[in-house]
Structure 1
Amino acid sequence: MASKKYSFLAGALCLMATAGFAQTPATAGGYSASDSSIVPSRRMPQHTEFMNGTYNYPAKPRSQWEVGIKAGSVNIGGDVSTVFPGFGYGVHIRKALGYVFSLRAEYMNGTAKGLNWQSSRNYSLNEAWQGYTGQPVFYNYKTTLNDFALEGIFSLNNIRFHKAKTGINPYLMAGIGLTTYGARVDKLAAPDVAYDFSTIPQDGTYENRKEIRDALRDLLDGDYESAAENEGTSRGKFLGMTAIPVAHIGAGIAFKLNNRFNIALEDRFTLTKSDLLDGQRWAEQVQGNPVLTRDHDTYNYLSLGLNVNLGNSARTVEPLYWLNPLEYPYSEIRNPRLMRLPKPVLPDADGDGVTDQFDLEQTPQGVPVDAHGVSRDTDGDGVPDARDKELVTPTYCQPVDADGVGKCPCPEGCGVDTSANACATTLGALPSVTFTGNAVRLSTDAQSLLASVAARLRNSPGCRVVVTGYCASNKAAQQRSWDRVNAVINHLVEREGISADRFIFQHAQEGGDCNTVDMRAAAAGEEGPSNVPAPHPNLRKG
């Protein structure tokens, strides 16, 4: 019988190994440390600090619970030899407290049997076997166990340095619990009629063990009608059964099938403070009466189980013992998304914003330059803008004098506008950009409008434009307003080639249409930033 048991377990191991290596790719099922939807409310302050760059560690995500069912072999180690196989089944619920440690509450119901192949004669002190007079007996038992346990489980394989995740998770466990048990013996062939064991071979040699046990199975009816010796009133009772505290140790290995299911092979060894799980606590003596033993019975639970992870996958991640906590820092090192990298400092002797490596001209401080560090000459008249008193001189008015002023006839004051609204007059009324729904991308029509705005700005290089978005009723509206203003400015800078410092960035303002971004010429002396950090980056749309 034992060989059949081990053959079954070997086959189960092969099956689970196949399932474990056929699982989904190891990198699947990861999560983003910036995703606030998987962070519980009590950890949101830490998440906010992390996103703002004031705390280095991301908040621990909300993880799923594991619920499992299992079945397997239960066997008692005591004074009577075990008969394979005993049977047990159980259920558990498990919660990860971290990436290594988790807690599990478990219930197991098991039935174990035992049968000695050697006869005994000194049973006078065992009340369960009273009624036999001098003839030998063969101790046997059938014990029902109810095991309630709380266990700490230590995962051994999910923190990996050279692989994102694994589909195989070995673990160790230790715990305490309460076990109730009831043991019975099979000693009567019929009511008040004891078995006649005289027909069973009595030599007790090892070679005859199989023959003896076969004869005993033919003789015994398997009713287990008699109560075995128990602790009496020295132990507490629960539902009519003896209740004892126990301690568990064990090990197991889980094989991941997918992000929801896994199967686990587990062996758990239980220590007790009772010597009567098998109904026998008396050691045989060659002569005289039996003596009380001082060893305590144990039992073993070898099981195969199916486990499922419970929880909303949109708001929770897998149990943490299936995740590798190194995945986040490794991904940031490889492809930074949240990591704050120091801004490189390159030499720029003249401070014009163009590094010396690419600067073709060392210009005085404050002189506008082009991408090559050369003094900017907007109208191409040969006089740099820094000294040009007529910034835009028509071609037909050139050549110009040393101050960049053209020599063509011009009505008095035509080249200079000293009014407070000079830029408003030059640029005229600028169009508004309209968005639909929650969109933040520019439509084709919007891009055409911005092309006309860019043309006006090129003809008025001294003017700045205020770009304004509206609505601040909630965080989502504030971020959407920022996204739309940012889209308008980025298009004018990146697609139309307008300098970013010519814009004043305003978002989440009151008094306008939430779906409209307005543009107007900046008033003389009006200042403001050309770029503003996103108010709620976790709500930012791509």
Structure 2
Amino acid sequence: MGASISASAQKAAETGKYKLIPNDQWEFGLHTGLVFTQADANNKLTPGLGGGVYLRKALDHTFSLRGSLNYAQAKGTNNVAYNQFQGKTIDKFNSPIITGEIDVLIGLGNGRFDGGRRSINPYVFVGGGFGSQKTNLTLKGSGDVKDAAKVAGLSGKWAQFQGGVGVSFRVNDKISFGIEEKIVIPIGTYADFLDGVERQERDIPTYTNIRLGFNIGGGKDSKKPVPLWWANPADQINADLADLKKRPVYDPTDTDGDGVIDAVDQEKDTPSGARVDTRGVALDSDGDGLADYKDKEPFSPVGYQVDKSTGVAQVPKPNYATEADVDRIVDAKMAKLQASLGSTNKGGGVADWFLPMIHFDFNSSKIKDSEYGNLSSVASVMKSNPGIKIVVTGATDKIAGDGYNQNLSYRRAESAIDALVKRFGVDRSRLILNYNGEDKTLIPTSAASYMNRRVEFKVAQGETEMAAPAPVSKKSYKGNKSGY
């Protein structure tokens, strides 16, 4: 039962419930033997044949239940005159019997707890059931009287008690062989009619038989179960005790002090301070075959050969640029930049630089405080590039007349140039004043527009400074409106 016990113990560990009675098998069997009828008349014992089938299931290692269906023949001679047959003497009787029985079997072979499975199982049993008889008589000088009980009232049904002893022998894990002796005690009206004569005492048949049993069934967690009457009750306990003895005694010794006890440490001599995994093996973080505590480069770059003695990857030295290389590159870039100064070519010259613009309040040429940051950016570009000139172009929206807007644009450009010269120190000769009035609006609207009230800056490409526009009076405004 080693396999079944291990499975049961495993299941017990998982569920927290210990199963004292393991899974076992049923026994299905056949039996045959001789029937002797102890009749109360003057008869001679004549054996009859019997047989049947049974099914047996263990309740525990000692007790089991057995149900059986049996056929038997009670035979004998009986020199008794029977008045119903005109005083003729009964010569022989033959009574076929069919019984159904339930027995409780008590095994006597499991009193000792030593050894493994039993090979011999003696037992006793008691039980009850029901029987049905049909008595046939032979009268002297008259031949056979077939089914005389139909006339004489000798056939019928009755209850019974039975008991007996037996012994089984286990052939292997599937088959057993046994010998059994059973005595049946009929109860009721027909309990004394097996021999055809009713008297004070019962007719009692006995059955001496041999049995052949086959083990069937068994639990899924048992590889080789057997009926429990063959099993040693202490097998499960003995197996579990053996498992406990096989388990290693807990030993907290950690020889190398790496935090993994020797019982599970696969590398018991790692040096102090070396990092290890859960098995106690020194870590090799980069997988180069050299433990980290020996590796001068524990995280070597991937894809390079590694020096097996030091763990250092053989990475080729990079081809760094020298200071002379940097100077040469910078000089080439600066030469290209200087060559682009004043260029009219589209796409990439200094003339394509973006410079910020400034905006003005309605009908005003006064520079707002918020715009000095943009003027500072323009001045910084000019100081960093002393070879360029900047065109300063004023513009307005479209609310007033064109003449007035030309003058207002001029004044706005002039204010921007004055601020660059006086506040930021830009040479006036590098600034070229232009104005557009309302001709080039950013926002296509005739309404007042903050974005259109502006001064733009760009790198000069041959432009010349525009003369101041002719002055106009306020009477020339469109719609008599003021301001733009």
Answer 1 or 2: higher relative contact order, Cα 8 Å, separation at least 6: 1
**TM-score, structure 1 as length reference:** 0.45
TM-score by length of 2: 0.49
The structure number with the bigger radius of gyration is: 2
